[in-house]
């Protein structure tokens, strides 16, 4: 079972064992990780699952869709490595994935 590490805006790290096939937003919500809400349930209509993916992991996940990029344009504090966590499916290859959470979501 892959492990995902969530890092909040203060640098605190939280570990979650995640079943492959689950998206990162669901993993955060299921593990009571503050900073990812997922109000829309993962249909890309709210961006309350905004996160930052470190450069070393970006090549291991699919590129964002045009719809995801449009939603990211509306988040507070967007960065080049911004993603919607509902669009990142956890796979065995993502074991050890690090996900940073924006301060604006706390």
- Residue 46 belongs to a domain with what CATH number? 3.10.20.30
**Dihedral angle computed from the Cα positions of residues 73, 78, 54 and 49, in that order, rounded to the nearest 10 degrees:** -70
Q: Label each residue of the chain as H, E or C.
A: CCEEEEECCCCCEEEEECCCCCEHHHHHHHCCCCCCCCCCCCCCCCCCCEEECCHHHHCCCCCCCHHHHHHHCCCCCCCCCEEEHHHCECCHHHCCEEEECCHHHC
Q: What is the pLDDT of residue 88?
A: 98
pLDDT at 21 (0 to 100)? 97
pLDDT tens digit sequence for 2-61: 999 999 999 999 999 999 999 999 999 999 999 999 999 999 999 999 999 999 999 999
Domains in the chain, number: 1
Predicted local distance difference test score (pLDDT) of residue 55: 96
Residue 61 lies in domain: 3-105
């Amino acid at each position: 079972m892959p492990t995902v590490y969530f890092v909040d805006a203060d640098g605190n790290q939280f570990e979650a064992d995640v079943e492959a096939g689950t998206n990162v937003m669901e993993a955060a919500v299921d593990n009571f990780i503050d900073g990812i809400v997922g109000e829309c349930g993962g249909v890309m209509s709210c961006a309350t699952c905004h996160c930052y993916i470190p450069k070393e992991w970006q090549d291991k996940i699919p590129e964002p869709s045009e719809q995801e990029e449009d939603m990211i344009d509306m988040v507070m504090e967007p960065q080049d490595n911004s993603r919607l966590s509902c669009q990142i499916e956890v796979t065995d290859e993502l074991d050890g994935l690090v996900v940073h959470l924006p301060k604006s979501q706390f």
